A = this chain, B = another copy of it.
């Protein structure tokens, strides 16, 4: 289906991702736009933006869903296979441009990989 209409709500959500290269949890997004739109709307907009390859989703360390802007994705080819880093102190998530090599698996067909590194981010390290 994807994004079809440029509504005010869609613009608001998009603008949150435009500026920074930082990932956002759905929970924090709902909080950010509280008063401006319904949480159901947030869920649905994120779905559509992901289907259009504008953002990508992944699971954070607590099993919560996070989203971030895709770099070079389209509706049909998602380049969202990069790893993510989540700080165990401040919970912030960053997209990493690392290339992680996964050894081949016998008798398995691997379609995608989720890699989450956890530890202390630059800010919380110092």
Contact = CB atoms under 8 A, between A and B. Distances in A.
Given A59-B59, A63-B63, A118-B112, A125 B107 contact: yes
A120 B100 contact: no
A62 B96 CA distance: 22
Nearest to A103: B98
A57 B104 CA distance: 24
A9 B98 CA distance: 44
Given A63-B64, A114-B116, A122 B102 contact: no
A119 B125 contact: no
B114 A110 contact: no
A33 interface: no
Nearest to A106: B122
Query: 8 closest pairs, A vs B, by CB?
Result: A63-B63, A111-B119, A110-B119, A107-B122, A109-B120, A114-B116, A109-B119, A59-B63
Given A63-B65, A85-B110, A108-B120, 14 more contacts: A59-B61, A61-B114, A85-B105, A85-B108, A98-B102, A98-B103, A99-B103, A100-B102, A102-B115, A102-B117, A107-B122, A108-B121, A110-B119, A113-B117
